[in-house]
Structure 1
Amino acid sequence: MNYYDLYADDAGDSHFRDVEVALEERNFAPPAKAIEISNTKAATGMLFLRLRAGWNEPIHPTPVAQTLICLRGRVRVTASDGDTRDIGPGDVWRMADTHGKGHHTEVIGDDDFECVIAQHG
């Protein structure tokens, strides 16, 4: 299991890195059997978002650190260093580029993009 992590360096350039999620087998919901589970990540809010087909926004930093989980559709995200990721159903994207040059997002394909976002601050 992994997610795309978009962050800004000290110079304000945004970059992607692929992060492997560490899972550990433990009892989560006794009396159910132990399951593989990650550590908890704190969240301050959750929202649903839709970008209509054709959406193509200007480059910007994320307003707060947040994690997006794609439900439907696809977007292409370009970091300020030119690296891209196509985000589609089931993909997880952590946005931490809260300062600097930011990233560009555009909906690709004919379907609207729908997702759930957990905000971290």
Structure 2
Amino acid sequence: MRYNKLYADAAGESHWTDIDVPLEQRSFAPPAQAIEISDPVPATQMLFLRLRAGWDEPAHPTPLAQKLICLRGQLRVTASDGAARVIGPGDVWHMEDTHGKGHHTAVMGDEDFLSVIVQHG
């Protein structure tokens, strides 16, 4: 498994990188068979988010470290270094650009963007 990570360097420039999530086969819900699962990641709260079709805001940093899991729709997210990624259904976006220039986000197409956000900071 893999997720998209957006982070800010010491100069405040945001960049994309890919993070591979190691999975290990182990017993998770006995007596069910062992499954491939990652190590747990601490979380403080979970939120649901909807961005309406046409949403397009100025660049901004994320308020705290969080992961967004896309349920429906698509976003185009552009780092301050100019690199862009499309976040769509099933994608996970780890936001860690809590300072600096941030990122620009716009909903693509005519469909609202629906997601779950898991905060851990």
Structure 1 runs (4+) deviating above 4 angstroms are none
Structure 2 unaligned segments of length 5 or more: list them.
Answer: none
Structure 1 unaligned segments of length 5 or more: list them.
Answer: none
Q: Partners of 1:30 and 1:50 in 2: how far apart? A: 36
Structure with the largest fraction of strand: 2
In the alignment, which residue of structure 1 is the partner of 2:38?
38
Q: Partners of 1:43 and 1:85 in 2: how far apart? A: 25
Q: Partners of 1:8 and 1:66 in 2: how far apart? A: 14
Q: Partners of 1:34 and 1:18 in 2: how far apart? A: 27
Q: Partners of 1:82 and 1:42 in 2: how far apart? A: 31
Kindly tell me the number of residue pairs found equivalent between the two proteins: 121
Q: Partners of 2:64 and 2:27 in 1: how far apart? A: 33
Q: Shift of the alpha carbon at 1:20?
A: 1.2
TM-score (normalizing by structure 2): 0.98
Matched position secondary structure for 2:16: strand
Per-residue CA shift, 1:39-96, capped at 9, x if unaligned? 1001100000000000001100000100000000000000000001100000000000
Instruction: List aligned pairs for 1:19-58, cutoff 5 A.
Output: 19-58=19-58
In the alignment, which residue of structure 1 is the partner of 2:90?
90
Across the aligned residues of Structure 1 and Structure 2, the Cα RMSD in angstroms comes to: 0.5
Instruction: List aligned pairs for 1:1-121, cutoff 5 A.
Output: 1-121=1-121
Matched to 2:93, the amino acid is W
Q: Shift of the alpha carbon at 1:30?
A: 1.0
Matched to 1:22, the amino acid is P
Q: Partners of 2:118 and 2:24 in 1: how far apart? A: 22
Q: Partners of 1:96 and 1:3 in 2: how far apart? A: 13
